[in-house]
Structure 1
Amino acid sequence: MFGNTKAFSGFAVNDLQRAKQFYTETLGLHVTEEDGMLFLHIAGGRSILVYPKDDHAPATYTILNFPVPDIEAAVDALTARGVSFERYPQFKSDEKGITRDSGGPAIAWFTDPSGNIFSVLQED
């Protein structure tokens, strides 16, 4: 039934303008704003909807992953832009916040201003 639809994902934030500033200035994403919502334009011609929600509560899991060819360089660049990386007790992270023993690729988690969890992960 939905095999040929152009599905898209979305998530909420508690401050749309603060989120827009973070996504454009810190993450370097192309962001547009329409009808009081943001659209994050990512590779592949797809967009992610970001909408305001006054009683927003961030998910307790990663909602957006950014595969990168060099996780060390990505973490260094984000750290230089003021991003702090999360450390979870079930995973061992190095001094930069990169986890290499999670059962998958090297990964580092961070949050947006609304507390939504994002990651950068090493491409294979």
Structure 2
Amino acid sequence: MFKATKAFSGFSVDDLAVARDFYANTLGLDVTEENGLLGLQIAGGIPILVYPKSDHTPAEFTVLNFPVTDIEATARDLVARGVTFERYGDDQDELGIHRGEGPLIAWFKDPAGNVLSIIQE
């Protein structure tokens, strides 16, 4: 039924202008705005929808993962841009990169409190 459908994901934020600034200027994504909604332009051509919600509650799970080829360099660059990495356990290094079981990954939040990650390809 949906094999040919170009599905897309979306999540809410509490302040669209702050979200636009973060995703465009801090993360360097191309961001569009139409009808009061943001579109995060990512590789592959299908945008991610970001919408305002007055009673927004941040997601308690990762809403967006960014695969990167060099997680350490990316983490350092994000820290230089003001990003703070989350701490979820003892198996994270000084940059916040999880080095336990599974892939190398580091989590951070957008200004609305939604969890994002960088993950080593």
**What TM-score, normalized to structure 2?**
0.98
Count of aligned pairs between the two proteins: 121
Shift of 1:92: 1.4
For residues 72 and 49 of structure 1, the distance between their equivalents in structure 2, rounded to whole angstroms, comes to 28
Shift of 1:105: 1.0
Aligned to 2:78: 78
Give the alignment of 1:1-124 within 5 angstroms: 1-89=1-89, 92-101=91-100, 103-123=101-121
Shift of 1:115: 0.1
Shift of 1:104: 1.7
For residues 87 and 100 of structure 1, the distance between their equivalents in structure 2, rounded to whole angstroms, comes to 12
For residues 28 and 2 of structure 2, the distance between their equivalents in structure 1, rounded to whole angstroms, comes to 32
For residues 20 and 48 of structure 1, the distance between their equivalents in structure 2, rounded to whole angstroms, comes to 13
For residues 37 and 12 of structure 1, the distance between their equivalents in structure 2, rounded to whole angstroms, comes to 10
Q: Aligned AA for 2:120?
A: Q
For residues 57 and 81 of structure 1, the distance between their equivalents in structure 2, rounded to whole angstroms, comes to 25
Q: Residue deviations 1:38-93, cap 9 Å, x none?
A: 0000001110000000100011110100000000000000000000000013x511
For residues 48 and 2 of structure 2, the distance between their equivalents in structure 1, rounded to whole angstroms, comes to 18
Q: Aligned AA for 2:70?
A: D
Unmatched runs of 5 consecutive residues or more in structure 2: none
Instruction: Give the secondary structure class of the aligned counterpart of 2:47.
Output: strand
For residues 45 and 33 of structure 1, the distance between their equivalents in structure 2, rounded to whole angstroms, comes to 16
Segments of 4+ in structure 1 off by > 3 A? none
Q: Aligned AA for 1:110?
A: F
**What TM-score, normalized to structure 1?**
0.95
